[in-house]
Amino acid sequence: MITIRYDQDRDALACAFAGKQDSSASETASAQFQAAWQAVKGSRGDRPGAPAIAFDLAEVDFISSAFLRLCLQAAKSSGGGAFRILNPTPAVKKLFVVAGLESLLG
């Protein structure tokens, strides 16, 4: 499950994930994120730069490589803007470290 919210004043897209982010859940979340990202980009007009993106993982107890791929795609989508992983559980945080993606942890 994913909850997506765009804060126009802060120009930030917040995505809160819950449950097991296996391959199937990550595929669904990726499609939802991409749709939200396109909507945000379209609503910003000609404002320069890219919105910040935050993935809140407080309620995630498992991630797969498909979810790591989604995180990398989101980081790339931010175009050098702010992308952060927030509130990972210790087990999820360890996977980011092992994968060499600790720079995404905020």
Residue 74 structural domain? 2-42+51-104
Q: Which CATH number goes with the domain that contains 63?
A: 3.30.750.24
Helices and strands, number each (H, E), in the chain = 3, 4
pTM of the prediction?
Answer: 0.88
The residue ranges of DSSP E strands in 1-106, in sequence order, are 2-7, 12-21, 52-63, 83-86
**pLDDT tens per residue across all 106 residues of the chain:** 789 998 887 888 999 999 999 999 999 999 999 999 888 887 776 777 778 899 999 999 999 999 999 999 999 888 766 889 999 999 999 999 999 888 888 6
User: Do the strands 12-21 and 52-63 form a parallel or antiparallel pair, or are they unpaired?
Assistant: parallel
The C-alpha atoms of residue 82 and residue 90 are separated, in whole angstroms, by 23
Report how far Cα 80 is from the mean position of its chain's Cα atoms: 14
| CA dihedral of residues 59, 9, 82, 31 (deg, nearest 10) | 60
Domains in the chain, number: 1
